[in-house]
Amino acid sequence: MRTFWTTCLLALKAASIAQASPGLFSLESELSDISDSTSNTENNVSSSRLSELETIRGVNIGGVFLIEPFIKPSLFDQFNTSTTQELPVDEWSFSAALGKNETRRQLEEHWDTFVTKDHLELLASYGINWIRIPIGYWAFNITDDEPFVDGQVPYIERLLGWAREVGLKAELDLHGAPGSQNGYDNSGHRVTPEWLYSRANVDRTLDALKKMTEIAVKWDDVVYGIQILNEPSRWKWPVSDILGFYNEAYDIIRGMTKDVYVMIHDTFLGPKEWHTLVNSNWTNTLMDTHIYQMFDNYLITINETAHIDMVADMTKDVVQFDKTNIGVVVGEFSAATHDCTKYINGFGTGNRWEGTLSYVDHPLCPFSHCTCTGDYSSDYRQFSNHYKHFLRRYIEAQLLVFDKKLAGWFYWNFKTESAPEWDYMLGVEQGWIPKFPRTAIPRNNEDDNLEVSAVDLVSKATAHTSILIPFFISAISFFVV
C-alpha cells in the first residue's frame, strides 16, 4: 500500500501548509484550475457496455482471500509472541506455521464468515456500486514446496453471486504473484521480491490471470474489471520490464474477453511518468493508483489542516492524466493519517507515531506528547467530536477529487476487526464517511425495485456533480448530531 506520493514530499515541504483549513467551498475553489470533467473512461473505451458505467464508487473486500495482519489481527494473535520462534508475518508464514490441514480449517472458516451477503447489501444501501476482490495467485496454482492452501474459488464465486443479487459490479484483483511482486505482506509473502527474476514466476502469474479471466467470462454480468497485478515495485525492476509483463497479461485477457476493464497499477511512479506504462493500442484500460498520507515519516509529522491541503497537491497531476490519457481509478485510500493501527506496518513491528518502528529513533507525531490512545486508538468510541469532524473533512476532500474528477475509487477496506479509519462500513455508521444515492440495482429483480431505480436515474443524470449534494445534506446532519 506504499505509494509514489511519499517520494515527492520534499518539494511539498517547502509549500506553506500552516494556513487555516479551507473547508469544502474553498477546497473546491482551490481545485478549480483543474478542468471539470465527467468520468474519463471514454478516453479509450470502445465497448458500449463499459461506456455506460456510472462513476465507480467501490470498496475493497481485502483481507479475505489474501489475509493481512492489520485487517484481522486475531488470525495472527494466536501465535505465542513470547517465544523466540520466528513469528508469522504474512499468509505464507501463517500457513507454514500451522501446516496445511489447520491452515485450511482456519481459512475456510474465515472465507465463509468474514464477508457476507448482508455486508454487500448494506454497502449497496450506502451507495457503493463496485467491489474490488484481492486474490492471491495460490488460489489458482500452488507448487509442492509452497505452504499455501487453495479452495478460495468457490467462495469467490459465491461472493460474485451475492454481488449479482445485490446489483454490485466487481473487479478481480491479482494481489499476490509468485516470488512476491513487492516484498510486502499484502503480496502474501513479506520477503525480498523475486517475481520478475524468474520466467517460471511470470508464467505462473499469467496462468493465474488466465484462470481469473475464466471466472470473469463466466460471471460477465458481474465482473467488469480485472487488475493485472497489485503494486508491482518499480524500485526492484525496470519499468520497461513491468510494461513487458503488462503487455503479455493484456493480450491473454483480451484473447478471452474484449468487454472488461483492464486495470494496471502505476508501480509507484509519479503521474507525469505514467505514460511509460501505457500501450497506445490498449482499449478499455484504467490506471490504478493508491493514495495514502501515512506511510512516510514526514507525513506523520504534519497536522490536520496540512493533510487536507495536501489532497489538492497530490492529485493535480492525477486529474490531468485522467483527462488526457487513460482514465484513473484510486484503487486504495482511507481516512488514516497516522500509523498507530495495530500491525499496519506489518505484524510484530512498531509505528512512526510513537517512534517504536525499528528505523525511527524518536516519535514523529505532530504533538509534543505522542501516544496511540484516544483519537489515535483502535477504539472508535474514544474518538472526540473534533477528530470525527476532521475525518469527515479529510474524506470529503479526497472524494471531491476521486469521485468528481476521476473514473472513481475503491476504499480500503470494507471492514476490519479493529482499525476504525480503514473500515468503510464503520465510517458510514459513525458519520465520517458520507452516503451516496444507491446505484447498485439487482439484475434479476428490477421490476421490484422501482423506487431504487428512480434514485439510480437521478444519480446517473447528475453524474459527478452530484457529490456535493449528499455531502452537504449529511454534513448538516453530522453537525446537528
Catalytic residues: 231, 332
CA distances from 337 to 2, 110, 420, 451 (A): 13, 29, 12, 38
CA distances from 133 to 94, 169, 281, 379, 411 (A): 21, 11, 27, 27, 12
- Could you tell me how far CA 461 lies from the centroid of its own chain? 27
299's grid cell:
507525513
Contact 230, 173 (CB under 8 A): yes
Query: Can you name the residues that pair with 359 across neighbouring β-strands?
Result: none
Contact 66, 182 (CB under 8 A): no
Q: 302: closest CA among 6, 2, 83? A: 6
Rg (C-alpha) for the chain, rounded Å, is 21
171 CB contacts (<8 Å, ≥6 apart)?
A: 58, 130, 131, 132, 133, 223, 224, 225, 226, 227, 261, 263, 410
Q: What is the SS3 assignment for 259-307?
A: CCEEEEECCCCCHHHHHHHCCCCCCCEEEEEECCCCCCHHHHHCCHHHH
Query: CA–CA separation, 32 vs 39, rounded Å?
Result: 17
DSSP classification of residue 196: G
Instruction: Give residue for cell 484513473.
Output: 328
Contact 187, 181 (CB under 8 A): yes
**Cα dihedral across residues 10, 14, 18, 19: positive or negative:** negative
Query: Can you name the residues that pair with 130 across neighbouring β-strands?
Result: 58, 169
| Helix ranges (DSSP H) in 219-254 | 239-254
Query: Can you name the residues that pair with 136 across neighbouring β-strands?
Result: 176
62's grid cell:
481485502
